[in-house]
Structure formats: C-alpha cells, structure tokens
Amino acid sequence: MKSDAITLQDIVRNLPEVRSISGASVSVSGVAHDSRDVRSGDMFVCLVGSSFDGHRFVAEAVRNGATALLIQSDRSAADISHDIPHITVDDTRSALPLVASCVYGRPSRKLKLFGVTGTNGKTTTTLLLERILRQRGWKTGVIGTLGSSFMGDPIPSEHTTPEADQLQFLLREMLLRGGDAVVMEVSSHAIAMKRTLACEFDGAVFTNLTQDHLDFHSTMEEYFQTKLRLFAEYPLGSAKAFHASVNMDDPYGKRILSETKGDVVTYAVHNDAILTVRDIHYAPHQTRFVLRTSSGECEVTLQIGGAFQVSNALAAAGVAWGIGMDLNTIAEGLGYLPAAPGRFESVQTGRDFHLIVDYAHTPDGLRNLLISARELSPKKILLVFGCGGDRDRTKRPVMARIASEYADRIFITSDNPRHEDPMAIIEEICVGVEDKSACAVIPDRREAIGSAIHEAKKGDLVILAGKGHEDYQIIGDNKIHFDDREVARELLEVS
C-alpha cells in the first residue's frame, strides 16, 4: 500500500495527542495494521484488541520492511525496541485512521463520499445510489458487503467496511483511477471500531434500525447511538456540506432527523416525507412505482423484485435529490441496476413454481422478505432458514415466530453454525415456532433445500433465506463451499 512518502513529523502534526516521537525525519509511504501485509517503507500500526496485541508482531513487521511503528503508550516499554523509529500514542486504534488518511493524501476530502448505514438494505441502497451517480456521468466506486469495485471492476478488500488503513488505501486507489465519487456501506462495527473516523462524507443514508448485532452492542440504544454518529458527529469534522437521506417509516428515523448536522431529505413509503411513492406494482423480477416530490413526479422501474426495494430506491434517491440531481436522471439510474446477488434473487426453476434466494438474516429482514413474497400472491410460501452461531441468540425464536406468521411451510436448518452445535441453535429457533405440524427440522442445509423443492407445487414460492450471496458455510474455524443458488440449481436438475 504505497503513497508519496511523508515523514513521521508530518504525521504527528495530524494527531491530536502524541506521547513521544523517535526518528521524526524518517519517511513512510504506506500503512499496515497486519504484519503480514507490511511492505518496504510502511508504518506498522500496533492495534490492541480483546484477544490480540499487534505489538507482538513488530519483529515480523520489521522483517517485512516496516520503517516505522505506531505504538500504544501502555505497551511500549515492555514490548518495543526503541531503536525503531516510532510514534507513541495513547490509543493506536483511534490514531490509525488519522495516520492512514494523512499518508494517503486525505482522499475522502477530494472525492464525493456517501455512506449508507442501517440494519437492512445497505447493500442494495449503495448499489442503487452508485448507479444514479454514474447516470449523472460521475466515475464511481463502491465499498461494501459484496466487495469493492470501481466502475464495475473489482478491487480486493475485506469486511463490509474495511479496516481504516485498507479503507483509506481503497479511497486513494479510486481517486487515482479518476474517481469522482464513492458510495460505501458503513456498518455499526466500523463506526464503533473507528475504521471510518477520518472519512469526510458529503452525505449519508439511514435505511432502518432493527434487532441485530446485540452480541456486539449491548442494547438497541447503544446500537442506535453508534449509527447516529455518522449524522451527528462526522459532519462536524469536515468542511463539506452534508446531505442526509432519512427513512420516516422507521421510528429511529425521526431521531436521526432531529440530530443530523446538515441538510435532510426525508423519504417514506407509508408516511409523509419529502420523497414518497404511489401506484406500486410488484413482480418477481421487477418493481414499478411513481416517485413523488414537492416539485414533480416520475415513473420508476426497478429491475429487481421485492416490496422492500421501494424503500431502498427512495433512500438512494434522497441523497441524489439532496445534492441537486434532477428526477429523470434519478429514475434512469435506478432503472439500470440488475438484481444484487442474493437480494431477492430469483433462481430459474424450469417448473411451475418460483424460487428466491435472499440474505435476510435478521427478524426485520425476514419479515420484509416474507411480506414482499406475499405481494406476489403465491399459493404457498415454503421457507428454508436458520440462524448463525456465535451471534445474537435472542433473535432466533423471534425469527421463528415471524416465519410462522408469514410462511405456510418452514424448513429449519443450519446456517453458519461457527463454534456452536447446529442442533442447539435449531432448538432455540424452534421455541418460537407456533405450528409444529407446519415445520420440518432438517439440519443438513442441502437436504433442507431439496425437501422444499420436492414439496413445492404449482404456484408456490420457495424462499431460501439467510445466506444470500454467500458461497460458504462456516463450521468451526473452517469455511466450506456452499452456495444456496448453486445447490438449488443442482437439486432442480435431478429432482
């Protein structure tokens, strides 16, 4: 990860608190928090977590070419040789994004940067907004759950929102490729872990807030307050004008609206807002509606199915409208997005029933998915789902109750069990099942999908929920290849 070299003294000028500096004139040209990624000329940043300590990997980082270190004051004396040029700070995690932004030339200041946050809908909203911006003629990049790309060309990255050094490098890479704008998913983990701390946003979207990540955030209020920072704190750290798009169908949206530091465009499907809709028409592969504003209307045709996609489209349109784009450009951009992988993605069955794969893995996500499915008027909904291990356990029976309410037949199976016993997860799910006679417990996910396909009749809809675009299952520490779409196609061929 290279940049034009700057000195440690240059970096110190951009840090609010520095305990000490050694080798102020030493130059660095890149930043890495993982010793395995260090290249010649890099600064190695020693992050400290609950189960790891980057200071233990200094020797490896130096062998790989690190010319300087960023170290934490409470670890320096015992763990670090003071012969190596270094900067000492109280918290390396807080300093990392500032260092990376400095070394890579503050790319977010030179780009138009838009963040999308919320429990559900981030991925599709990000892609929709990126398409609108491209329709305007901007060269655009995307960073999110499906990876990173620039003008459709993939760029390797990790996490929904990458670690701060990787994120700043990606932004700089897109800038060097001639980029005008970047749209990125901003997860609550990323905000809490300070990965986005040095990013200067031109705008942000709030999609919704529902139960998720309570294994990480102790309460829903803590979860909300973390999201709120993108709207209430981040604009204060930048000279850019800030434009927010906020969902008035979500109760948390009203709180976001009142605390946002910048201009806000509200949107809603069911309530009053600046952007609303009328005349919605649903189909498995398409959604049509009229987008309404205070200054006019336009027809929109999304090339993606699902009632919840209307809200996602409004979310993206809200930012575009806020920065002054015209309705026709917005509508045309929305219409160019093909179905996002694993988001209400239709799998051709060659039969007289439909099959849809979706990433829905939260209670609200599953509810929205099943409500959208009901809009298609199937004879029966056959739902295959499970819950991930090592994650919020309280949502398991809640999701089962939602499945019981909206689906006609339920197949409870394994998702990503990680380090938990799959049957223990399933037992916790089953607590919420209302009609046991309509439920089948099949731990093997492939077998569960096969059973749903075998039972499907003319006019039915089979839904495979929870994994969406993922092409693996995580069992213990192992990732095993498994793609719901691929498995469904294989089973349809032989059944």
- Assigned domain for 433 exists: yes
Report yes or no: 328 and 298 within 8 Å, Cβ to Cβ. Answer: yes
pLDDT value of residue 214: 55
- For residues 72 and 208, membership in a common domain is answered with no
pLDDT (average), residues 372-400:
94
pLDDT value of residue 215: 55
**Which of 103, 131, 163 represents a domain boundary (last residue)?**
103
**Which of 57, 74, 103 represents a domain boundary (last residue)?**
103
Q: Across-strand partners of 170?
A: none
- Each residue of 77-136: pLDDT tens digit? 545 665 889 999 999 999 999 999 999 999 999 999 999 999 889 999 999 999 999 999
Residue 469 identity (one-letter amino acid): H
- Give me the domain span that covers residue 28: 6-103
Counting residues of the chain whose pLDDT is more than 70, the rounded percentage is 96
- For residues 137 and 257, membership in a common domain is answered with yes
- Assigned domain for 1 exists: no
Rounded to the nearest integer, the mean pLDDT of the chain is 93
- Assigned domain for 168 exists: yes
Could you tell me the pLDDT band of residue 305, with boundaries at 50, 70 and 90? Answer: confident
- For residues 114 and 256, membership in a common domain is answered with yes
- Each residue of 313-348: pLDDT tens digit? 999 999 999 999 999 999 999 999 887 788 889 999
pLDDT value of residue 81: 61
Closest CA to 80 of 91, 69, 89, 90: 69
What CATH code is carried by the domain that includes residue 229? 3.40.1190.10
- Assigned domain for 284 exists: yes
- Each residue of 143-164: pLDDT tens digit? 998 899 999 999 987 767 789 9
- Each residue of 255-267: pLDDT tens digit? 999 999 999 999 9
Q: Tell me how far apart the alpha carbons of residues 214 and 223 are, in angstroms, rounded to a whole number.
A: 8
- Residue 18: φ, ψ to 5°: -130, 130
- For residues 124 and 59, membership in a common domain is answered with no
Report yes or no: 253 and 246 within 8 Å, Cβ to Cβ. Answer: yes
pLDDT value of residue 338: 80
* 119/171: higher pLDDT: 171
- Assigned domain for 155 exists: yes
Report yes or no: 78 and 176 within 8 Å, Cβ to Cβ. Answer: no
Predicted confidence (pLDDT) at residue 450 exceeds the cutoff of 90? yes
- For residues 304 and 366, membership in a common domain is answered with no
Q: How many domains does the chain have?
A: 3
pLDDT value of residue 341: 85
Q: Using CB atoms within 10 Å of the CB of residue 377, give its burial: 0 to 12 exposed, 13 to 18 middle, 19+ buried.
A: exposed
- For residues 181 and 92, membership in a common domain is answered with no
* 302/77: higher pLDDT: 302
- For residues 114 and 97, membership in a common domain is answered with no
User: pTM for this one?
Assistant: 0.83
- Each residue of 234-279: pLDDT tens digit? 999 999 999 999 999 999 999 999 999 999 999 999 999 999 999 9
- For residues 425 and 472, membership in a common domain is answered with yes
The two structure tokens encoding residue 26: 């030493």
**Which of 283, 303, 335 represents a domain boundary (last residue)?**
335
Q: Tell me how far apart the alpha carbons of residues 402 and 6 are, in angstroms, rounded to a whole number.
A: 55
Predicted confidence (pLDDT) at residue 1 exceeds the cutoff of 50? no
- Assigned domain for 340 exists: no
The string of DSSP codes covering 201-238 is -SEEEE----S--TTTSSSHHHHHHHHHHHHHTGGGG-
Residue 184 identity (one-letter amino acid): M
pLDDT value of residue 4: 66
The two structure tokens encoding residue 31: 């930043």
- Assigned domain for 288 exists: yes
- For residues 218 and 267, membership in a common domain is answered with yes
- For residues 308 and 384, membership in a common domain is answered with no
What CATH code is carried by the domain that includes residue 375? 3.90.190.20
- Each residue of 393-409: pLDDT tens digit? 999 999 999 999 999 99
**From the CB of residue 288, how many other CB atoms can be counted at a distance below 10 Å?**
15
**From the CB of residue 480, how many other CB atoms can be counted at a distance below 10 Å?**
10
- Assigned domain for 406 exists: yes
- Each residue of 357-370: pLDDT tens digit? 999 998 988 998 99
- For residues 406 and 419, membership in a common domain is answered with yes
What CATH code is carried by the domain that includes residue 16? 3.40.1390.10
Could you tell me the pLDDT band of residue 294, with boundaries at 50, 70 and 90? Answer: confident
- For residues 179 and 278, membership in a common domain is answered with yes
